[in-house]
Chain A
């Protein structure tokens, strides 16, 4: 049986090699079992991904999906996920983005998902207007940056719809190149941009003139009104709306932010609007405007030593224009500087000399890397490429890496938090490589009192019987926090939100709970769903994600602890704040596997778990 409330009920298949497109329906049973959005995209990947495929080969598919709440006006329900084999880690990973106008337009065009395979023989962009799906010539776009590409496509589309585009870094297969939705939301720091570039796919533009219906309008109306009321009564709503992500990470004073702020930007139906449009008010870059997934991203070079915020904005604008991940770029630059210092990279290639806090140096190296010029050719291959080329000597001076990528948080990383919570541990157990997006929990707020945890854990769908296991130390003999056990539920909560299409940011997901999610899901889709059923499906979704990587032989024994994290000054234990030891992190990883029903030694889901989740038949 097909499904058409909440869901559009169809997958758009695009073969770039032949140019053929087709529309295939989704059964309600499959939609129900994998929820939608992120979960259903993983399910489609089981059949679409050829095990062992080279990430940059034509046969590596790009799957894009939106959840059943996307386009329904439910607050912050705009998420878009891509799943592909990522070149930076050679793993199958999710790439998430605040969907801006892309997700709802995809639904209104009549699709929940797109599966893109093959490779075009010339640069193209995919242009979707309802049933009219075209591969249009992109020779005039090739070589242009992200914003330039989007501006030209918008001229052709009249400014309507959503656009996901890559810059020059994606065209040149830089391993940490991303796609950008509407020029603002970043997607896929592990190299989604390179996968698109390898397919000669410059962009995807979608406009939908159709609609989404809900199954139970009266129930939907009640739930939506209650949720909106709760959000409006939130005492910090105005502050979030005014400061955005600066509220949680005050990198510059509010007065300075007010000077540069042009306007806040929100994804469709979001009450917070974490994105920004800013304008440099004075100095040599006076009048330069930049839009970003957050103003703190634009200012992040300050953390790397930039003293002038205007230069920071200028550099990140350039990285965004090339379409490269800023965190990985800085990690690579610091590593390259060390390789030059050690004589491992030839000194004559250090031109201009790498100076991490210099705008002129970083500007030159951003271009060299994105265009693969000079030594930029080597740096564009990321940590994995440099370590493969220069071996043990390079490894000896590498920073803390997880699956050969630069973590967001931790010693040597950009974000300064040093208490080891679920987001920090999650960087290790994420199959896609270090990412904090899926590991959210109350530990997001450092030093939050433990007696506040149960309320949040229940909200996240943690079963009551699991809470005592979480609120105990690893040894179980004194009050504490078992971060590994908690992380299993962080990943299931992320799976729930991502599969519905709801943003997982802390300031948004605080308004959601498992009961509300199941009620909304049922009202919108008409699929009977209890909280317990939704909890089981979310576990199924994350275990399926793991199995996709086990099938690649990439999910086994790869969750290792960077030595630097447990070398003083390294991470500290979340509750005691004592220096963290490697043994403790290993225990957390084991506890995480155990709670997930995965093998404690290899990390692979146990056969009994696969059977309970109904996944065993997919991997025989």
Chain B
């Protein structure tokens, strides 16, 4: 599995949280917010996007984003 640096642009994030659902699905084949390694807080004037320590930078969150708030950059390394 490739490991990507994820470029974050909170200014265009709408808080749809599709990235969180994609993360939980890819890693557990279940949909949940609590199981996601990316966290979106949309309660403020600007969305806040953070990553948990357990994030493996697989890029599935960026693949799911419709708005360009997350983008995969060139793979940093290939994980074993």
Q: Which residues of A contact B (CB under 8 A)?
A: 71-73, 75, 101, 104-105, 108, 154, 159-160, 208-214, 217, 228, 231-232, 237, 241, 262-271, 273, 277, 289
Contact = CB atoms under 8 A, between A and B. Distances in A.
Contact of A159 (B22, B35, B43, B64): B43
B41 A277 contact: no
Contact of B18 (A237, A264, A269): A269
Given A108-B32, A213-B29, 8 more contacts: A213-B30, A217-B29, A241-B66, A262-B46, A264-B14, A265-B42, A266-B16, A277-B45
A268 B17 contact: yes
B11 interface: yes
B22 A211 contact: no
A241 B42 CA distance: 17
B34 A263 contact: no
A73 B45 contact: no
B8 interface: no
A213 B29 CA distance: 7
A554 B22 CA distance: 45
Decide if the interface of chain B is mainly helix, strand, loop or mixed.
Answer: loop
Given A266-B14, A266-B15, A73 B25 contact: yes
A108 B64 CA distance: 20
B45 A271 contact: no
A208 B18 CA distance: 16
B56 interface: no
30 contacts: A71-B31, A72-B21, A73-B21, A73-B22, A73-B31, A108-B31, A108-B34, A209-B33, A210-B32, A211-B30, A212-B30, A212-B31, A213-B29, A231-B66, A241-B66, A263-B14, A263-B45, A263-B47, A264-B67, A265-B42, A266-B15, A268-B17, A268-B18, A268-B21, A269-B16, A269-B18, A271-B66, A271-B67, A273-B14, A277-B45
Greatest chain B CB density within 10 A among A231, A232, A265 is at: A265
Contacts of A237: 66
A382 B31 CA distance: 43
B66 A232 contact: yes
Contacts of A104: 17, 21, 31, 33
Contacts of B66: 75, 228, 231-232, 237, 241, 271
Nearest to A220: B25
Contact of B41 (A159, A210, A217): A159
Contacts of A159: 41, 43
B24 interface: yes
B28 interface: yes
Contact of B15 (A211, A213, A265): A265
B4 to A, nearest CB: 19
Task: Report the 9 A-B pairs with minimum CB-CB distance, sorted nearest first.
Answer: A211-B32, A266-B14, A73-B21, A271-B66, A266-B16, A211-B30, A273-B14, A209-B34, A269-B18
Contacts of B12: 263
A44 B24 CA distance: 31
Contacts of B67: 241, 264, 266, 271, 273
B17 A269 contact: yes
B32 A267 contact: no
B11 A263 contact: yes
Contacts of B46: 262-263
Contacts of A267: 16
A129 B69 CA distance: 30
Contacts of B34: 108, 208-211
